[in-house]
Amino acid sequence: MQDSYKAALEQMTEKFQRTARLAAEENIIPYKSEHGTWVTSPYDGNSWWTGGFWPALMFQLYAFSRDPFFLEEGRRVEALLVEEFRTYQYLNHDVGFMYLLSCGADYKLTGNTQSRLDTLHAASLLMGRFNPAGFIRAWNSPQQTGFAIIDCMMNLSLLFWASRESQDPRFEKVARIHADTTMREFVREDGSVSHIIEFDPESGKRMKEHPGQGYALGSSWSRGQAWGLYGFTLAARNTGNPEYLATALSIARNFCRHIRPDGLTDCDFCQPKEEERLDNIAGAVAACGLMELRFLTSEDAFMDAARTLVDGLLDHCADFSDASMGILTHCTASYHDDGAGRHTNITYGDYFLAEALAKLCGTDPMFWI
Ligand code: GLY
């Protein structure tokens, strides 16, 4: 373990020992930190797709520090998320992110049996979104019955977990069908990936690509690239399927070609050169995916690239001061600002930074598997 990574994780732990208490006092789920305060999600209340990253962050810090405050704080928000099962209308394919990282993480760390049942419940909700025409439906609007998105590759982890946990192959079969469709329809020749593809919900035929959170139709939104990289790596680890591994390698090599000299990550790899638009969440997610890919392939270049990304974040964009609540700066939710945050601290950036540091320190409990 390199001392600088351990020192950074210790600084993270100390900062959240102070600032997470303020979230607990208000009984909120922090979404981002701005002007020295916590801000909750801009849409859909506690059902917003990012809710699981706060408990995941708390559980990561608990695994590292064993400070019981972090377990308690993770569980406070886990309980809020479980209440969201009743809203149904706002929950979408991101129940993978929301519940594997909250209830699933609690179960993994503590063996809490109710958390296990809640995670299986979430897996059933995700499987209920499967269209037998060949994909998992992303969102709920009646205009989007055929929409699937690259981000869902991360949510498949919940299905792989559920098959192992329940000894029932249905979940994994659905995950494999969705991953096969994604491999065929989203991944381009050069290893870049599309964000949103619309299918005919009756036949499963590909209809068209839609612009998503990146710069333009057909561009390469960096967080989408990172979701694809890490998602296919996890699918390869979960199944042993060499095609998923080859896909992860192709996306990873393309991502590595776009790492900036300072280690930070542009919001879109096709954005105009004169635009300084960063998304450090993409860099943190990719660093985690690259380290897992190094684990699967023994290719040291992936570890070197992951270190470049983490070093860039720590050297230029980590705020451990008391002036703010969170740590990772210059996170951008969407290239064309959708109100969810641009060049600011966003909680899931902090989560993936913590996961990356924990991997480098050998303390990551690996909530995705
Ligand atoms: N899953 C949506 C996003 O990455 O912003």
DSSP string, 26-53: HT----EEETTEEE--SSSGGGSTTTTH
pLDDT at 319: 98
Indicate the pTM of the whole model.
0.98
pLDDT at 295: 97
pLDDT at 338: 87
Give the count of alpha carbons within 13 A of 232, CB side only. 29
Phi and psi dihedrals of 278, rounded to 5? -105, 155
Active site residue: 3, 44, 67, 94, which one?
94
Q: How far is C-alpha 128 from the geometric centre of its chain's CA atoms?
A: 21
How far apart, in whole angstroms, are the C-alpha atoms of residue 18 and residue 254? Answer: 39
**Structural tokens at position 82:** 């479980």
How far apart, in whole angstroms, are the C-alpha atoms of residue 308 and residue 286? Answer: 11
pLDDT at 337: 87
Q: What percent of the chain has pLDDT over 70?
A: 100
Rounded distance from Cα 1 to ligand 1 centre (Å) = 31
Is the separation of the CB atoms in 279 and 332 below 8 Å? Answer: yes
Whether 334 has a pLDDT exceeding 70, the answer reads yes
Rounded distance from Cα 230 to ligand 1 centre (Å) = 14
Answer yes or no: 151 catalytic.
yes
pLDDT at 1: 53
Q: What is the pLDDT of residues 144-169, one digit of tens each?
A: 999 999 999 999 999 999 999 999 99
Order the strands of the 206-210 sheet from edge to edge.
147-149, 196-199, 206-210
Is the separation of the CB atoms in 322 and 17 below 8 Å? Answer: no
Q: What are the extents of the domains in the chain?
A: 2-361
Ligand 1, residue 223: give the atom nearest the CA: 4
Ligand 1, residue 348: give the atom nearest the CA: 4
Rounded distance from Cα 2 to ligand 1 centre (Å) = 31
Other CB atoms within 10 A of residue 321 CB: 8
Residues 41-60: what's their mean pLDDT? 97
Ligand 1, residue 149: give the atom nearest the CA: 1
Amino acid at site 163: S
Ligand 1, residue 213: give the atom nearest the CA: 5
Mean pLDDT estimate for the chain: 98
Rounded distance from Cα 280 to ligand 1 centre (Å) = 13
How far apart, in whole angstroms, are the C-alpha atoms of residue 284 and residue 328? Answer: 9
Instruction: Out of 32, 49, 100, give the residue to mutate to test ligand 1, the one with the largest number of ligand atoms within 8 Å of its CB.
Output: 49
Instruction: Out of 154, 223, 334, 348, give the residue to mutate to test ligand 1, the one with the largest number of ligand atoms within 8 Å of its CB.
Output: 223
Phi and psi dihedrals of 148, rounded to 5? -130, 150
Q: Which residue owns the Cα nearest ligand 1 atom 5?
A: 333
Rounded distance from Cα 348 to ligand 1 centre (Å) = 10
pLDDT at 91: 98
pLDDT at 62: 98
The CATH classification of domain 2-361, taken from the options 3.40.190.10, 3.40.50.1000, 3.65.10.10, 1.50.10.10: 1.50.10.10
How far apart, in whole angstroms, are the C-alpha atoms of residue 278 and residue 346? Answer: 13
Q: Which residue owns the Cα nearest ligand 1 atom 1?
A: 151
Order the strands of the 32-34 sheet from edge to edge.
37-39, 32-34, 345-346
Rounded distance from Cα 210 to ligand 1 centre (Å) = 15
* Extended beta strands in the chain, E state: 32-34, 37-39, 130-131, 135-136, 147-149, 196-199, 206-210, 345-346
**Structural tokens at position 154:** 């991360």
* Pocket lined around ligand 1, Cβ cut-off 6 Å: 49, 151, 213, 223, 333
Per DSSP, helices labelled H in 42-169 are 53-65, 68-83, 95, 103-110, 113-127, 152-166
How far apart, in whole angstroms, are the C-alpha atoms of residue 231 and residue 152? Answer: 8
- DSSP 8-state secondary structure symbol assigned to residue 213: S
**Residue 108 CB partners (closer than 8 Å, separation 6+):** 365, 367
Instruction: Out of 136, 154, 213, 335, give the residue to mutate to test ligand 1, the one with the largest number of ligand atoms within 8 Å of its CB.
Output: 213
Ligand 1, residue 333: give the atom nearest the CA: 5
pLDDT at 23: 98
Whether 73 has a pLDDT exceeding 80, the answer reads yes
Active site residue: 118, 151, 350, 364, which one?
151
pLDDT at 193: 98
pLDDT at 2: 79
- DSSP 8-state secondary structure symbol assigned to residue 198: E
Ligand 1, residue 227: give the atom nearest the CA: 4
Q: Which residue owns the Cα nearest ligand 1 atom 2?
A: 151
- Tokens 């333009």 appear where? 216
